[in-house]
Amino acid sequence: MQEYSTGSKWFHWITVALLALAWPVGFVISYIKEDAKTAFYTVHESAGLLILLVVLARLAWRLRYPPPPLPDHVPRPLRRAAAGVHHSLYALLVLQPILGFIATNAWGFPLRGDSAFLGIIDLPKFMEANEALAGAVQLAHRIGGYAILALLVFHIGGVIFHQAIRRDGILQRMVGGPT
């Protein structure tokens, strides 16, 4: 069975690590004391922008190194489900950081100073504070976060289904090793 390229595997697992950082930090921010929130925002927003950069690089990589085709024994409904989950994840992983960046600016807190990208890189402020827009975009960002979580559950569920029930070696395409 064909495996993903080494670069594709790196992009996948770097994205996983960044999501494992960004999602829980984003989820708990509203529960953090005001005097400690800036650090959480910096981590969350920096991880989000890194996700955007990694996913864009990953999509460019896919143009040169397309994913291996699914084996013929994978039924059409499973192929469609996998494609739907993957395409939706890619779309949300691009859209979500953009929504977050817009919301941050609309709240009047561009990524500058204490909340700079990676704690050191000031990003341009591109709009004045707009509370109505900020609230709407933040709601879309929050919904997107839960949608990503749901898609990850489907994705991981699919991996478990293929590994534990179908025992068809699909997992080895991303991790390597014996089927």
Confidence of residue 128 (pLDDT cuts 50, 70, 90): very high
Task: Determine the Cα angle at 83 with ends 140 and 61, to 5°.
Answer: 85
Q: Which residues are paired to 121 by β-bridges?
A: 117
The 10s digit of each residue's pLDDT in 67-118 is 999 989 899 999 999 999 999 999 999 999 999 999 999 999 988 998 899 9
User: b/e string for 36-50 if b means 16 or more Cβ within 10 A?
Assistant: eeeebbbbbbbbbbb
Residue 121: how many other CB atoms lie within 10 Å: 11
Instruction: Tell me the whole-structure pTM to 2 decimals.
Output: 0.92
CATH 3.30.499.10 is right for the domain spanning 6-175: no
Please, what sign has the CA dihedral across residues 21, 125, 127, 50? negative
